Amino acid sequence: MRSLSGFDSVLKRMSGLFSERRLRLMFLASAVRTSDTQFRALYDMGRDSAYILDLHRIPEVYVQQSPRAYAMAIGFDEPFIVVSTGLLDLMDEEELRFVVGHETSHILSGHAVYGTMLQILTQLATRVAWIPLGYIGLRVIVAALEEWARKAEMSADRGGLLAGQDPDAALRALMKLAGGSRLHEMNIEAFLDQAREYDTAGDVRDGLLKVLNLLGTTHPFAVTRVAELDRWRRSGEYDAILAGNYPRREDDANAKISEEVKAAANSYRESWAQSQDPFIGVLRDVAEGAVNAGERIFNRFARREN
């Protein structure tokens, strides 16, 4: 999407609907901005994450009073991070470092642009719900963007791990989002067992229900995030990046849409191959059958032409 000329610029202008300036002024007036003298540890985490992830500017970090545990990255031109007091109370220092790195990764990757498009289209879909075909078309696009948003969260999890460089703390942080602060009552291996059970549980009907449960959501479930981050770390890619083996930003302009589509298709193919979900297995069999049928038809016509 970045390769489409002017795409980001148009969406940034559309973001005037959400008024980035107004939001920043609101947090400047109603929250606490971290600095050398306010929430110094959190301020240092924001600076360190920007340095490790090679972000060209250090985003401001605000602390907002709320019992809910959350963090978010806001803005386009001068994005900033908001962390709730509920999250500060829930996480230890290393877990917070992962969270700040996660939000810094959202800023680095420009996720706010596409997240804004998702918000705009979601609102538009509700306004045209009385037009059946228009609503169905928009819902298809929204569903695709929601899937993108869930993948963006997993990408940001990887960035958070790279910023904190403490795999155990990253997994603990995600587990706490599901089970709260009583860490002594939880066990990461047992939580990973939950993830495996969730992946394999039930029959085709349960698999379909899992898909339906994701409709309207922009974040993957906690067990899925923990399992995926643990799998990525164990795959060797995490260590390779720490060793300096990763794509360089200057090569981004040379990215080709066709190659990105192939990479996305391969990623889904691998995730489907790894999944033990019965419903995914049915979809995989149907997809492979369609591909095989297509190949047979193509080969038959090719022989006739020869």
* Residue 189 and residue 207 in one domain: yes
* Residue 39 and residue 175 in one domain: yes
Integer Cα distance of 279 and 7 in angstroms: 36
Show which of 247, 266, 294 is a domain's final residue. 247
Q: Per-residue confidence at 290, pLDDT binned at 50, 70, 90?
A: very low
Domain count, the chain: 2
Q: Is residue 295 domain-resident? A: yes
Q: Is residue 269 domain-resident? A: yes
* Residue 96 and residue 214 in one domain: yes
pLDDT of 126-149, one tens digit each? 565 556 555 565 666 777 778 888
In the chain, the largest separation of any two C-alpha atoms, in whole Å, equals 78
| Structure tokens given for 12 | 């940034």
* Residue 227 and residue 115 in one domain: yes
* Residue 77 and residue 215 in one domain: yes
* Residue 264 and residue 297 in one domain: yes
Q: Which of 103, 146, 153, 228 is catalytic?
A: 103
Annotated active-site residue 103? The verdict is yes
pLDDT of 44-81, one tens digit each? 999 999 999 999 899 999 999 999 999 999 877 788 99
Sequence-distant (6+) residues with CB within 8 A of 169 are 92, 94, 95, 97, 98
Burial class (CB in 10 A: 0-12, 13-18, 19+), 22: exposed
Integer Cα distance of 7 and 182 in angstroms: 45
Q: Is residue 135 domain-resident? A: yes
* Residue 127 and residue 266 in one domain: no
Instruction: State the residue range of the domain holding 270.
Output: 257-306
* Residue 226 and residue 289 in one domain: no
Integer Cα distance of 187 and 232 in angstroms: 20
